[in-house]
A and B are shown apart, each in its own frame.
Chain A
Amino acid sequence: MSAAVEEVVTEGQAVEAVPKRAMTLGAGTSLVVLAILVLTPLVVKNFIIFQMTQVLIYGLAVLALNILTGGSGQFSLGQSAFYAIGAYTSAILMEQYGVNYALTLPVAGIICFAAGFLFGQPALRLSGVYLALATFALATAMPQLLKLGYFEKWTGGVQGLVVTKPDAPFGLPVSQDVWLYYFTLVITIAIYVGSVNLLRSRSGRAFMAIRDNEIAASSMGVNVALYKTLAFGVSAGITGIAGGLGAIAVQFVAPDSFTITFAIQLFLGMVVGGVGWLPGSIVGAAFIIFVPNIAESVSKGLSGAVFGVLLFLVIFLIPHGARQVAIVGQQLAARFRR
Chain B
Amino acid sequence: MLSKVQRTAALAAAVILWTSSAALAQKRYDTGASDTEIKIGNIMPYSGPASAYGVIGKTQQAYFDKINAEGGINGRKIKFISYDDGYSPPKTFEQARRLVESDEVLLIFNSLGTAPNTAIQKYMNSKKVPQLFVASGATKWNDTKNFPWTMGWQPSYQSEAHIYAKYLMKEKPDAKIGVLYQNDDFGKDYLKGLKDGLGAKASMITTEESYETSEPSIDGHIVKLKNAGVDVFISITTPKFAAQAIKKLAELDWHPMHIVSNVSASVGGVIKPAGFENSQGILSAAYAKDGADPQWDNDPGMKKFLDFLAKYYPDGNRLDGSTVYGYGVAQTLVKVLQMCGDDLTRENVMKQAASLKDFEPDTLLPGVKINTSPTNFALIEQLQMMRFKGEKWELFGPIISGELTN
Give A contacts to B, CB under 8 Å.
45-48, 50-51, 54, 144, 147, 149, 157-160, 162, 246, 250-252, 254, 256-257, 259, 261-262, 296, 300-301, 303-304
Contacts and interface: CB of A to CB of B under 8 A. Distances in A.
Contacts of A257: 88-90, 115
A257 B120 CA distance: 13
A294 to B, nearest CB: 12
Interface in B104-132: 114-116, 118-119, 121-123
A256 B83 CA distance: 18
A51 B94 contact: yes
A147 B183 contact: yes
Nearest to B184: A158
Contact of B102 (A47, A144, A246, A303): A47
A296 B84 contact: yes
A262 B91 CA distance: 11
A46 B83 contact: no
A182 B88 CA distance: 26
Contacts of A157: 184-185
A-B interface, 7 closest residue pairs, ranked by CB to CB distance from nearest: A47-B101, A252-B119, A254-B115, A158-B184, A250-B90, A158-B185, A47-B102
Contact of B48 (A51, A159, A261): A261
B98 interface: yes
A119 B119 CA distance: 30
A303 B119 contact: no
A320 to B, nearest CB: 28
Contact of A159 (B47, B84, B118): B118
B122 A259 contact: no
B275 interface: no
B28 interface: no
A157 B114 CA distance: 13
Contact of B93 (A144, A147, A251, A261): A251
B345 interface: no
B118 A303 contact: no
Nearest to A289: B94
B215 to A, nearest CB: 11
Contacts of B88: 256-257, 259, 261-262
B82 interface: yes
B64 interface: no
Contacts of B86: 261
A304 B87 CA distance: 14
Contacts of A262: 88
B102 A300 contact: no
25 contacts: A45-B101, A45-B102, A47-B97, A47-B98, A48-B102, A157-B184, A157-B185, A158-B115, A158-B184, A159-B114, A160-B89, A162-B118, A162-B121, A250-B90, A252-B118, A252-B122, A254-B118, A256-B87, A257-B88, A296-B84, A300-B82, A300-B84, A301-B46, A303-B47, A304-B47
